[in-house]
Amino acid sequence: MPTSPAASTRRRTRRRLRNAAVALLSTAALGASLLSPAAANAQTPPDEIDKSDNIDLVANLPKPEGFDVSNSDLAFTGDHVIVGNYNGFVIHDVSDPEAPEISSAVLCEGGQGDVSVSGDLLYYSVEYPQVNEECGSGESTAEDPDAFEGIRIFDISDKTSPEYIAAVPTDCGSHTNTLLQGEDSDYIYVSSYAPSERFPNCRPPHDKISIIEVPKDDPTSAAVVSQPVLFPEGGNHDQDNLLRPTEGCHDITVFPAKDIAAGACMGEGVLMDISDPLNPVVTETVRDDNFAFWHSATFTNDAKAVIFTDELGGGGAATCNEETGPELGADAIYTLKGRKNPELTFASYFKIDRHQSDTENCVAHNGSLIPVPGKDYFVQSWYQGGVSIIDFNNPREPREIGYFDRGPVSETELVRGGTWSAYYYNGYVYSSERTRGFDVLRLDDRRLRGAERVTFDEFNPQNQPQYRGR
């Protein structure tokens, strides 16, 4: 979700963060607050639901105490699902997916809360300036040269008691992070944006990303090792309807099996050559007058197509309606042609046609492939448009084949809510609901049953594996 750097906006957001965690902010240096299991596993019933016959909600865990700000992205390791939150993260035990339990809830505020996991390490994005690296140090301002923004690193070898072990500052903080795993080191592509001449650590043009190297045998020595400029010519700044111009990228999805990446970079979508992980090179760029904010990207399993999303309205507007139409705030599907430096060719748009009310923020957001060998199915979040199952085997004629949709958070005013991310993992769909917590969904559709033969030990949706059925 785009976040303005304006001081007034950040102050309002930080007040919400502070009020949510005021009783739990006294922590030691590089320490984090852990909630008790009883507080973490409190139950409340879900709201009224509309859905297709081939999808069912089998579990819901509300957000634990202290996490009443927005949930964000997800990462998966073994029998655990990690849910990012603007106040920290929550680790869920899904060894029984239909009876999940919270293993730990770590309060360590900083905003955005994008997460990636690598073995026993968790990488967590901090976008709102903090006084220092400590959890609970309190809010600062982007005008403060000593404020901390960037990546926090946790040791999660004990899922019931994560340990905060390191922090790496990055220019403009970290809105999202993407993991690229090497033999001896992890590389984290840090995407951030919204520079200003007022911000000493976030100055324009900021047409770059930061790359952090984390040595696997010494993660506490993690550091920024490269800051490649992706847009030396400045990117797309001239399109009239852009929410933000190109400033680095909003999010990047890597496809290590083919040494390529797709970047959603506010003003444009890009392909990158990542054969040299410290020096990604943009090889192809596309722009679209219908797109206001290139938000995220997902490859097909054969990397012959990519889905880009447009987060029209920054995720805070009611855009799934007849007035907005079927092409704004949609997915755009592009095919890739050519073996070396493939070209992107537009195939179609997809947008849910289940019109939502004027009090429901709704727009294309995060999703992943459903790993049916040889087929192209996609599960995707649409905020208060719910979870959508999309068949795009014909990239020119995508269609929805299933959905799960709650009623509005409020029927009288627009209150931001809905599902931020929905991803398929080892037989179930897991959804990070901004207001209602953690959802587990089960699919019952013969077209999707082949996915049950595909299992992973670890899954970061922005580090896209190439799967094979078993």
Which domains, and CATH codes, for the chain? 7-459 (2.130.10.10)
Tokens of 119: 């073995």
Task: Provide mean pLDDT across the span 426-433.
Answer: 98
b/e burial code for range 358-391 (CB count within 10 A of at least 16 → b): ebbbbbbbbbbbbbbeebbbbbbbbbbbbbbbbb
Q: Indicate whether 343 pLDDT > 70.
A: yes
Residue 469 — pLDDT band, cuts 50, 70, 90? low
Question: How far apart, in whole angstroms, are the C-alpha atoms of residue 437 and residue 406?
Answer: 13
Beta bridge partners of 75: 82
Determine the 3-state secondary structure of 441 from DSSP. strand
Q: What is the pLDDT of residues 221-267, one digit of tens each?
A: 999 999 999 999 999 999 999 999 999 999 999 999 999 999 999 99
pLDDT the model gives residue 34: 79
Q: Of 319, 323, 325, whose CA–CA distance to 295 is shortest?
A: 319
396-412: pLDDT as tens digits: 999 999 999 999 999 99
* The two three-digit tokens of residue 448, written as one number: 């999707």
Q: pLDDT tens across 143-160, in order?
A: 999 999 999 999 999 999
The separation between CA 356 and the C-alpha centre of its own chain, rounded to angstroms, equals 23
Provide the β-strand partners of residue 310. Answer: 294
CA–CA dist 228, 248 (Å, integer) = 10
Distance CA 165, CA 31 (A): 8
Residue 465 is predicted with a pLDDT of 96
pLDDT of residue 5: 37
Please give the structure tokens belonging to residue 443.
């699919």
Instruction: Examine the pLDDT at 11 and tell me if it is beyond 80.
Output: no
Q: What was the pLDDT predicted at 13?
A: 36
**Residue 106 CB-half CA count within 13 A:** 31
pLDDT of residue 48: 87
Position 7 scores a pLDDT of: 34
* Amino acid type, 150: G
Res. 456 pLDDT band, cuts 50 70 90: very high
pLDDT at residue 45, as a whole number: 43
Report whether pLDDT(29) > 60.
Answer: no
Confidence of residue 16 (pLDDT cuts 50, 70, 90): very low
How sure is the predictor about 340, in pLDDT bands with cuts at 50, 70 and 90? confident
What average pLDDT score do residues 305-323 get?
A: 97
Rounded to an integer, the average pLDDT of 170-177 is 98
Tell me the pLDDT of the chain averaged across its residues: 91
Q: How far is residue 173's CA from residue 165's CA, in Å, rounded to a whole number?
A: 18
pLDDT confidence of residue 36: 57
* pLDDT tens per residue across span 67-108: 999 999 999 999 999 999 999 999 999 999 999 999 999 999
How far apart, in whole angstroms, are the C-alpha atoms of residue 353 and residue 210? 38
Q: What is the mean pLDDT of residues 3-24?
A: 34
Q: Are 243 and 292 in contact (CB under 8 A)?
A: yes
* Tokens 């990012």, residue located: 84
| pLDDT of amino acid 470 | 52
Return d(Cα 48, Cα 177) in angstroms, integer: 34
Least confident of 35-39, 47-51, 280-284: 35-39
